[in-house]
Structure 1
């Protein structure tokens, strides 16, 4: 953490040397991220880079080489990462706080996806969700993010899989396909880990879905000491059902982030057209 002259606290992250990224590409990507302004996304303050000359040995000779060091400056978020709140058991936070975090992640992701030139995060995981002093969620670490010029599906050229195992969807692992449903899959994993714990996430594929949903509901009712309101109970039920749809192996069966945000906003409201069916 560093302090600007104006008193603003910022986090400084030094980037690994990226020989395949030239300065113009680096600046363009950062400029795109600097335009991202949303309460559930960590704000990019700026960046800096420094070029120095070093002498290295190459094939028995000493040669001069340029080394570029890059760093990005981000708003400082006091509450640490969501990962610190998770364990084998359901999240240690109360349900209202958990729901606030889940909704915040969804709204931040919706902002990234809902544009003519959407940004796909591609490394959404609890370690990349930061919490501020009020426990509001902020999506961070756009090191693997991509800005696209449409919402269609893309095929990566590289066979080198980049991301975090467990949060990457099967169509990317097996066929290197990238679409908005990549982040939706990661979102589903995160919600299940919040609601059922990390052990619960790894065990849910072996439980009948109805039984798993029932167990999650009962665990939260017990955790909240049987004082959970009908509204909160509906939030629990809706969130776990959404999460299970998000981690469908068939990406066309996963909802879009817009459908998810709409479903959350409809909690407590009579639903005429809940999301269903296949989407690309």
Structure 2
């Protein structure tokens, strides 16, 4: 396949603020700011046995045929050291950033299926993206379709990623492949013919089978064959075992029964009897239209849950309504020089010479646990023993734990009233 122009090569001189945001079987994923475009991008580094880049360049030529709203957009090839000059030169892909993570991450966070309008839209969008890839010339097979390879944007629209990387996967280190297989991840979405025939050749039907299992994962929020040994899964799939459909109650909502029927057709034992993705989207489109009016509310509710999940992990943070006309007790303090900066766990690294405290013992407040208080918008937040707090989406911070040291303006020691009475 020829291109009228070579893929764009993006290097470190156009990028800044590298932050590692994930890792997988193919390699590591970084977030970075493109200084000339003024936008954040995702950089997927790929691991190779021999360190060559010829494989990724061949695959990128296929992936650049994008242009479908349900397929991740590839901006160019990456060559650089992810902002670390001491690292060796690495290669990868520069892609659009999907800030809401993957479908796998969403299902794990919700611990339940998404609201039906959103679940049916995901099913339809994934089918549209795969139908587009299969109608390229030549067809582009995915061969690793699963929840972690479907990403979500700010509106929770689904986009397929890691397509065209099937041959690259064979050059990934052996340890990474073995880890994925041991966990039963990709194996759970592989068609039976791939597990029973050493002369197996991938086809469009291979992706259709994976799509059927992916639909089951979305509407049950579960991992297929969860907890089962990979050796047993590998043995039983060719004998007709499939994910447990008894977990699906078709009476829950309109259209679910039709989705269950197309799902079972997708994972048919006979590859020739499986539908095409065009057949699938004709079904999912009608199902989604039944629930489209509730989509806005469903997306809003899920986004609220995703934002609330950030705060729920801060177990040491207590937030309560600030009482009106609150009278705070007077604070006893002593002057130790200029106003000190807030003492935190990060501390200061300079050496401080200890000097006698200029404050009388009776005026020195007792030592207490470190506590920070702020008053944003009518509430106050108390945090004890907190190294750092992140609130909201699309932001990040780096925390470096350092030995805690006394500020240079603080007294060299603090005497309790009991100790003070013992002194002559």
Q: Indicate whether the TM-score tops 0.5.
A: yes
1:242 to 2:262 alignment: yes
1:14 to 2:52 alignment: no
Query: Compared with structure 1, are the counterparts of its residues 8 and 256 closer, same or farther at alpha carbon in structure 2 (3 Å cutoff)?
Result: same
Match of 2:250 in 1: 217
- Kept after mapping to 1: 8 A contact 2:150/2:161: yes
Higher strand share: 1
Match of 1:186 in 2: 210
User: Superposition RMSD on alpha carbons, in Å?
Assistant: 3.3
**Inter-partner Cα distance in structure 1 for 2:111 and 2:263:** 14
Match of 1:167 in 2: 189
Q: Could you tell me which of 59, 62, 69 is aligned with 1:39?
A: 69
Match of 1:261 in 2: 281
Q: Structure 1 regions of 5+ residues with no counterpart?
A: 52-66, 147-155, 222-227, 270-280
Query: Compared with structure 1, are the counterparts of its residues 90 and 250 closer, same or farther at alpha carbon in structure 2 (3 Å cutoff)?
Result: farther
Which fold has the larger relative contact order, with Cα–Cα distance below 8 Å and residues 6 or more apart in sequence? Answer: 1
SS of the aligned residue for 1:242 comes to helix
**Inter-partner Cα distance in structure 1 for 2:43 and 2:223:** 33
- Kept after mapping to 2: 8 A contact 1:192/1:201: no
CA drift at 1:117: 0.7
Report how many residues are paired: 225
Higher helix share: 1
1:29 to 2:53 alignment: no
Question: Under a length normalisation based on structure 2, what TM-score does the superposition of the two structures give?
Answer: 0.47
1:192-236 deviation digits (Å, cap 9, x = unpaired)? 1111232677798487x7xx48x4213xx2xxxxxx5xxxx02x2
**Inter-partner Cα distance in structure 2 for 1:268 and 1:84:** 22
**Inter-partner Cα distance in structure 2 for 1:142 and 1:264:** 22
SS of the aligned residue for 1:45 comes to strand
- Kept after mapping to 2: 8 A contact 1:79/1:132: yes
1:177-196 deviation digits (Å, cap 9, x = unpaired)? 31101111111001011112
Query: Compared with structure 1, are the counterparts of its residues 45 and 253 closer, same or farther at alpha carbon in structure 2 (3 Å cutoff)?
Result: same
Q: Could you tell me which of 114, 119, 123 is aligned with 2:135?
A: 114
Query: Compared with structure 1, are the counterparts of its residues 242 and 251 closer, same or farther at alpha carbon in structure 2 (3 Å cutoff)?
Result: same
**Larger C-alpha radius of gyration, 1 or 2?**
2
Tell which deviates more after alignment, 135-144 or 198-207: 198-207
Match of 2:411 in 1: none
CA drift at 1:8: 1.5
Q: Structure 2 regions of 5+ residues with no counterpart?
A: 1-30, 82-87, 229-240, 290-424
- Kept after mapping to 2: 8 A contact 1:126/1:190: yes
**Inter-partner Cα distance in structure 1 for 2:147 and 2:274:** 20
- Kept after mapping to 2: 8 A contact 1:120/1:183: yes
Map 1:198-217; keep pairs closer than 5 Å: 198=222, 205=242, 212=246, 215-217=248-250
